[in-house]
C-alpha cells in the first residue's frame, strides 16, 4: 500500500502537473470512442498497450473478459455496455483476452472450483461453450498451456457473439454505427493479435489494419498464438 501512496504523490507532482490542461478538460466531460472489454488480470494495462490517454478508453473489466448474453445476468456488464453505446456513442468495441488467462485455466481445469470459489464457477458458466468447443475440437492437444491459449481465443469470439445479443449493440451494428473487434494480448511478446474474419484466425494487429468482425463462434483455422 505504501508503494501506491508514493505512486500517487509522484503522479500528482509529475504526470498530473504535466497534463493539467487535459485533466481540466476531462473534469467536466468525456467522449471516449472505444469501449474496451478485458480481463481483470493485473498484467493487462489497456492504456499502456494502446498508448491511449485518459478519456480515450471506456473500460469494462471482469474475470475472463466475459459478456453475459443480454437478460441472463444482473451484474454491471449490460449497464456499462448500454451506457457506452447510447450515452457516449462509442464507435468501436474491443473484447481483449490475453495469453495464460487464469479464468480460462479455471474453466478448463478447475474441477474443484465449486468448493473454494463458487462465485467464479458460476461466473464461468458464461464461457461454458468455450470449454466445450476447445475440448471437442482439439481432442489430441494435451499441452495445458496450448489448450488455455486456444480457449482464450475461442472465448473472445464467443463473447463477441454474446455482445451482439445486447439491444444497443445490435441496433448500432444494424445502422453501421459501431464495429466490433476481437483481440488477444500476448503478454510475453507485447503483441496484440486481432481476429480476422477473412482468415478465421487471430493475426498480428500490425500486419493488417482491417480487423473488424461482427463475431463468430469458433476459430476455423486453429490457434496462431
Ligand atoms: Zn484473464
Q: 179 forms bridges with which residues in the sheet?
A: 92
Angle (CA) 75 79 80, round 5°: 100
At 223 the pLDDT is: 78
Measured in Å, residue 13 CA sits from the centre of ligand 1 at 33
- The per-type count for the chain, helices as H runs and strands as E runs, is 11, 6
Quote the ligand 1 centre to 27 CA distance (angstroms).
31
Q: Which residues pair with 124 in a beta bridge?
A: none
Q: How far is the CA of 105 from the centre of ligand 1 (A)?
A: 9
Ligand 1: centre distance to CA 91 (Å): 25
**What are the strands of the beta sheet with 191-196, ordered from one edge?**
57-62, 34-39, 92-98, 179-186, 191-196, 201-204
Residues 6+ apart with CB under 8 A from 157: 182, 195, 215, 216, 217, 218, 219
Distance 24 CA to ligand 1 centre (A): 34
Q: What is the pLDDT of residues 127-153, one digit of tens each?
A: 999 999 999 999 999 999 999 999 999
Distance 197 CA to ligand 1 centre (A): 23
Cell numbers for 126: 458464461
Ligand 1 centre to CA of 97 (Å) is 7
How many Å lie between the centroid of ligand 1 and the Cα of residue 63?
A: 6
Q: Name which of 88, 95, 93 is nearest 178 in CA terms.
A: 93
Domain locations in the chain as residue ranges: 31-207
* DSSP conformation class of 85: I
pLDDT at residue 200, as a whole number: 86
Q: Hey, what's the cell of 51?
A: 498508448
Inter-axis angle of helices 144-163 and 102-109, to 10 degrees?
A: 100
CA of 41 from ligand 1 middle (Å) equals 5
Centre of ligand 1 from the C-alpha of residue 29, in Å: 31
CATH architecture assigned to 31-207: 3-Layer(aba) Sandwich (3.40)
Neighbours of 66 (CB within 10 A): 25
- Tell me what pLDDT residue 114 has: 74
Query: pLDDT tens per residue, the chain (225 residues)?
Result: 999 999 999 999 999 999 999 999 999 999 999 999 999 999 999 999 999 999 999 999 999 999 999 999 888 999 999 999 999 999 999 999 999 999 999 999 998 777 889 999 999 999 999 999 999 999 999 999 999 999 999 999 999 999 999 999 999 999 999 999 999 999 999 999 999 888 888 999 865 555 555 556 678 777 778
Amino acid at each position: 500500500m505504501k508503494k501506491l501512496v508514493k505512486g500517487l504523490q509522484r503522479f500528482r507532482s509529475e504526470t498530473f502537473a504535466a497534463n493539467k490542461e487535459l485533466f481540466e478538460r476531462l473534469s467536466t466531460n468525456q467522449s471516449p470512442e472505444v469501449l474496451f472489454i478485458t480481463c481483470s488480470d493485473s498484467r493487462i494495462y489497456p492504456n499502456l498497450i494502446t498508448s491511449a490517454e485518459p478519456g480515450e478508453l471506456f473500460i469494462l473489466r471482469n474475470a475472463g473478459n466475459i459478456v453475459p448474453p443480454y437478460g441472463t445476468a444482473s451484474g454491471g456488464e449490460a449497464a456499462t455496455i448500454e451506457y457506452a453505446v447510447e450515452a457516449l456513442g462509442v464507435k468501436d468495441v474491443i473484447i481483449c483476452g490475453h495469453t495464460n488467462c487464469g479464468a480460462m485455466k479455471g474453466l478448463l481445469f478447475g474441477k474443484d472450483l465449486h468448493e473454494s470459489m463458487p462465485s467464479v464457477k458460476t461466473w464461468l458458466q458464461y464461457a461454458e461453450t468455450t470449454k466445450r468447443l476447445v475440448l471437442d475440437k482439439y481432442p489430441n492437444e494435451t499441452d495445458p498451456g496450448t489448450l488455455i491459449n486456444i480457449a482464450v481465443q475461442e472465448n473472445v469470439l464467443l463473447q463477441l457473439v454474446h455482445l451482439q445479443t445486447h439491444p444497443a449493440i445490435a441496433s448500432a451494428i444494424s445502422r453501421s454505427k459501431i464495429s466490433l473487434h476481437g483481440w488477444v494480448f500476448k503478454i510475453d511478446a507485447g503483441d496484440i493479435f486481432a481476429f480476422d474474419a477473412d482468415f478465421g484466425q487471430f493475426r498480428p494487429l500490425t500486419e493488417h489494419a482491417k480487423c473488424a468482425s461482427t463475431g463468430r463462434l469458433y476459430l476455423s483455422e486453429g490457434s496462431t498464438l
